[in-house]
Chain A
Amino acid sequence: IAGITQAPTSQILAAGRRMTLRCTQDMRHNAMYWYRQDLGLGLRLIHYSNTAGTTGKGEVPDGYSVSRANTDDFPLTLASAVPSQTSVYFCASSDTGGGGSDEQFFGPGTRLTVL
């Protein structure tokens, strides 16, 4: 069982380019999340999805979009990358999305550098 996979592992991207980070889970979890991790700032929620077909904005959604066409996949798109989006991106999932009481399972992360 893989759990959560993310691709690519790392990427260097020119500013202004479009980029999609992929996330797939095989646990049939309803809820999925995207976080960015920056030194000294911990993990900040970008977007989330409580169930397939629905998405919501987190703490830092600007410059990012997501979609949830099915249960397993939750891609994160940067329409026009900027250097401030240089970060480590983690995808996570939980069995349900309500109440913030479920354990979250994290993928291995994608290290993105925007030049």
Chain B
Amino acid sequence: GQQVMQIPQYQHVQEGEDFTTYCNSSTTLSNIQWYKQRPGGHPVFLIQLVKSGEVKKQKRLTFQFGEAKKNSSLHITATQTTDVGTYFCAGPNTGTASKLTFGTGTRLQVTL
């Protein structure tokens, strides 16, 4: 079945350092979504990418969709303690009536 993997599983940075999480799908995706889950909270939608090679920015966050539409990345510039949480990518699962398959997530810890 379709698999969506993320690396790293966990990263601990000092405030001000950059952070990147990578998402890789076993199948080509029509789109990819990113969600953030704060500790003890629920996933919250961040963004969706649709086009091959697409790059979108939200303040310090940069999202990229690979040319082959099988991978994506989220880069955070100059992390802040408010960035703490788990970041999930998600792509359509063609094997389950096109529902979303979520990646395994990357947990980010930021310390002062």
A binds B: yes
**Are B98 and A99 closer than 8 Å at their CB atoms?**
yes
Bound form: Cα–Cα A47–B48 in Å: 23
**Are A107 and B98 closer than 8 Å at their CB atoms?**
no
Give 21 pairs: A residue, B residue, CB < 8 Å, sorted on A. Answer: A33-B99, A35-B102, A40-B104, A42-B103, A45-B100, A48-B96, A48-B97, A56-B96, A58-B99, A59-B101, A98-B98, A100-B31, A100-B91, A100-B98, A100-B99, A101-B30, A101-B48, A101-B92, A104-B45, A106-B43, A107-B42
Interchain CB contact (< 8 A) of A43 among B31, B50, B97, B102: B102
B44 at the interface (CB under 8 A from A): yes
Please, which residues of chain B bring their CB within 8 A of the CB of A103? 33, 45, 48
Tell me the smallest distance from the CB of A57 to a CB of chain B, in Å.
8
State which size class the interface on B falls in: 20 to 34
**Are A104 and B42 closer than 8 Å at their CB atoms?**
no
Bound form: Cα–Cα A108–B97 in Å: 25
A105 at the interface (CB under 8 A from B): yes
Bound form: Cα–Cα A103–B100 in Å: 10
Interchain CB contact (< 8 A) of B102 among A40, A42, A98: A42
**Are A45 and B99 closer than 8 Å at their CB atoms?**
yes
Contact of A90 with B42 at beta-carbon distance under 8 Å, contacts A99-B98, A101-B48 already known = yes
Please, which residues of chain B bring their CB within 8 A of the CB of A98? 98
Bound form: Cα–Cα A44–B102 in Å: 7
**Are B45 and A101 closer than 8 Å at their CB atoms?**
no
The chain B residue sitting closest to A100, CB to CB, is B92
A41 at the interface (CB under 8 A from B): yes
Interchain CB contact (< 8 A) of A99 among B30, B90, B102: B30
